[in-house]
Amino acid sequence: MEKKFKVKVNNTSKFEFTENQILDLDIQATGNTDFHILHEHKSFKASIEKSDFLKRQYSIKINSNIYNINIANDLDLLIEKMGLSLGSAQLINDIKAPMPGLILEVNVEEGTAVKEGDYLLVLEAMKMENTITAPREGVVKSIQIKNGETVEKNQLLIEME
């Protein structure tokens, strides 16, 4: 199954891309954040002005125009399809399974201080490994699961203080 991405530009235009379409682009890096792009026999200079990798939000400058880009990957699309929201997890202390699956790895212990985006655990679902990250800064209060355990959708995995 090919990976798909939904891209929103300036909160107005929406595009869908497959991984192969992205790999087929004619792009050359000219620096750490600078790129040269050829598209339909036209040349473009692009640079990454700002990036937030965890939230998949970027500001890209192409030929002197700035575009704000939000990228949704397969996991984001699956969570949206299941009627869940990544944003709502930041308002609560309980981290629950977004889908049924198998716990492959637990990366924290009770009492561990975590920052937003730190890896908490790996959940295998539908033959994909999904890394569950901390929605905010805090301390792990309790861990309700262990490696090798099967979990159901919305099952409590980790409580935070």
Reported as a single tens digit per residue, the pLDDT across 64-97 is 899 999 988 877 777 777 766 555 444 568 999 9
Range 84-160 has CATH code 3.20.20.70: no
Listed by start position, the domains of the chain span 4-72, 84-160
What pLDDT is stored for residue 90 in this prediction?
A: 42
Q: How many CB atoms lie within 10 A of CB 9?
A: 13
Output helix, strand, coil percentages for the chain, rounded to the nearest 5: 10, 50, 35
pLDDT at 85: 57
Q: Average pLDDT of the chain?
A: 88
CB contact at 8 A, 148 and 103: yes
Question: Any residues with CB less than 8 A from the CB of 96 and at least 6 apart, and which?
Answer: 154, 155, 156, 157
Number of residues written out for the chain: 161
With a cut of 50, list the residues of the chain below it in pLDDT.
88-90
What pLDDT score was predicted for residue 117? 86
Cα distances from 109 to residues 73, 94, 145, in angstroms, run 29, 15, 11
What's the CA gap between 56 and 42, in Å, rounded?
A: 27
- Res 22: pLDDT: 86
